[in-house]
Chain A
Amino acid sequence: DAGVIQSPRHEVTEMGQEVTLRCKPISGHDYLFWYRQTMMRGLELLIYFNNNVPIDDSGMPEDRFSAKMPNASFSTLKIQPSEPRDSAVYFCASSLGPRETQYFGPGTRLLVL
């Protein structure tokens, strides 16, 4: 299997622009997670899906952030409008089940100027 695939790997944008991050989980994994990693706060869970349904979005920072999973093989994390403090590495991870280990994608490095 190719593992979790994320795109783009790097994104540089200007404040106020819309940013869309994409993720393809490992085939057959029913759980998909979005994380954000910063030096200050480490790895933070933003939201996770089970069978394409958002289960817990309590980690989403504010209304500017939204995530969707239209089907089992694709998810997006959108930031609109983006702000400089959103600059971070965003990871997508997937797992087979609730107690199964999560496999991470390579991440998207976002820089908002």
Chain B
Amino acid sequence: GQQLNQSPQSMFIQEGEDVSMNCTSSSIFNTWLWYKQDPGEGPVLLIALYKAGELTSNGRLTAQFGITRKDSFLNISASIPSDVGIYFCAGQGVDNFNKFYFGSGTKLNVKP
């Protein structure tokens, strides 16, 4: 099956710092999604990417769909305490449009 490697596993940063996390895949993906999950809640979509090379922003968040279609990154600028949570990448393979594969998550801790 598809393999998604997400890194880092966890991060401890100071409020105001920028954050970068990424996902790589062993296979080509058609779509990359980035979700955030708060404790006790379901994942909430942050950014969706549909084309290789696409760079999309959502407020302080920026994500890119890698040119090789095998990777994606998410950047958070000027982090704030409410950025705390687990961030997941998800990719949609070329073999099955209905199936998304999820990374293992990056746990972000922000110190005020």
Contact = CB atoms under 8 A, between A and B. Distances in A.
B100 A45 contact: yes
A42 B42 contact: no
A91 interface: yes
Contact of B48 (A42, A44, A101): A101
B111 interface: no
A56 B96 contact: yes
B42 A91 contact: yes
B38 to A, nearest CB: 10
A44 B35 CA distance: 15
B97 A42 contact: no
A43 interface: yes
B105 A99 contact: no
A42 B88 CA distance: 10
A50 interface: yes
Nearest to A48: B98
Given A45-B100, A48-B99, 7 more contacts: A31-B98, A93-B42, A98-B97, A98-B98, A99-B50, A101-B33, A107-B41
Interface of B: 30-31, 33, 35, 40-45, 48, 50, 88, 92, 96-105
Interface of A: 4, 31, 42-45, 48, 50, 55-56, 91, 93, 98-99, 101-107
